[in-house]
Amino acid sequence: MAEFLVTGGAGFIGSNIAESLAARGHSVRVLDNFLTGKKENLAALKGRVEFVEADLRDLNAMRRACEGVRFVIHQAALPSVPRSVADPILSNDINVTGTLNALVAARDATVERFVFASSSSVYGDTPELPKRETMPPHPISPYGLQKLTGEMYCRLFWELYRLPTVALRYFNVFGPRQDPQSEYAAVIPRFVTMMLRGHSPTIFGDGTQSRDFSFVENVVESNLAACRAGKAAFGNAYNIALGDRISLLEFVGMLNEILGTKIEPKLTAPRAGDILHSQADIAAAVNDLKYKPTVNFREGLRRTVEWYRKK
């Protein structure tokens, strides 16, 4: 029996959540099929968590995984906007059908809380900043649409079946264990590892595009806060970020300061589906979830650089 089920627990964010839960003495079951998750991410947790190798798209496997569980923290997904543009059918199968399977299994196991990892990509490229949860969503990629569908399923399962759900809209999460090797790798691990080797990173666009980057430790805390939140949060979606933004050129400058280097980025044509500016209003999460980001961007970047240096 386990208190928590972390789907996608061998992934970047999921493994950080599983490790934090285990360190606090909770019993944890991790589910992953290693499509994008890595066994090495769970190496430090060997013998401390229960592991289930299974696929979200297998409803019977999800039912077994939810047995006896109090909290489901659903991180499993096929991430990346470009990947969803390249293969919308596979990403829909995992991100929509897989999430529906997880919700059905959680409902039938009468879990106390279902926390869903959503994304700022649901907002699309609407120019208004900061992004508030009351704004109409306008996804411009299959991934954004799939995450919005997952949120709507969560709301429906609360309203229809009384399964307590909370959706968290992550904004550009970064930190230890993020994979820099994938062709779909996020900007921070890719730039950090390239600049550690003295190479110039490539920016798609003019570098003025900006992001509200979220250090993974803050994201871990948001999931635990969602598990504790009261009824007012059920069925809702919340922005999880710092509530600030930094341009990619400013980020490269800060990274140069941390590394003691003077590496200039290469600028190239923008990518289809990429969003120009992103910043969150986190007031609702602060109010309803008692979410409080404790690690600022510079400190998170410093810790991330140290982790990659040791690899």
Q: What is the CATH number of the domain that holds 72?
A: 3.40.50.720
Q: Is residue 67 part of a domain?
A: yes
pLDDT (0 to 100) of residue 40: 96
Sheet holding 113-119, edge to edge: 50-53, 28-32, 4-7, 71-74, 113-119, 165-170, 236-240
* Distance separating alpha carbons of residues 311 and 306, to the nearest angstrom: 9
Q: Is residue 119 part of a domain?
A: yes
Q: Is residue 256 part of a domain?
A: no
- Secondary structure class of 277 (helix, strand, coil): strand
Q: Is residue 192 part of a domain?
A: no
Q: Is residue 266 part of a domain?
A: no
Per-residue CA distances from 210 to 204, 263, 271 (Å): 12, 19, 15
Going by C-alpha positions, the residue among 94, 6, 91 that lies closest to residue 42 is 6
Q: Is residue 185 part of a domain?
A: no
Instruction: Give 310's contacts (C-beta < 8 A, 6+ positions apart).
Output: none
Burial of residue 23, with CB atoms counted within 10 A of its CB: 0-12 exposed, 13-18 middle, 19 or more buried: exposed
- Tell me the torsion sign for CA atoms 245, 249, 252, 254: negative
Burial of residue 136, with CB atoms counted within 10 A of its CB: 0-12 exposed, 13-18 middle, 19 or more buried: exposed
Domain count, the chain: 1
The two three-digit tokens of residue 304, written as one number: 């991330």
pLDDT (0 to 100) of residue 190: 94
Report cis status (omega within 30 of 0) of the bond before 130: yes
Using 70 as the pLDDT threshold, list the residues of the chain that sit under it: 183-184, 273
Q: CA 261 from chain center: how many Å?
A: 30
Q: Is residue 189 part of a domain?
A: no
Angle at which helix 187-196 crosses helix 248-259, to 10 degrees, equals 40
Q: Is residue 283 part of a domain?
A: yes
Q: Domain containing 233: what range?
A: 4-174+214-243+279-295
pLDDT (0 to 100) of residue 273: 66
pLDDT (0 to 100) of residue 224: 98
Residue with tokens 């600022």: 296
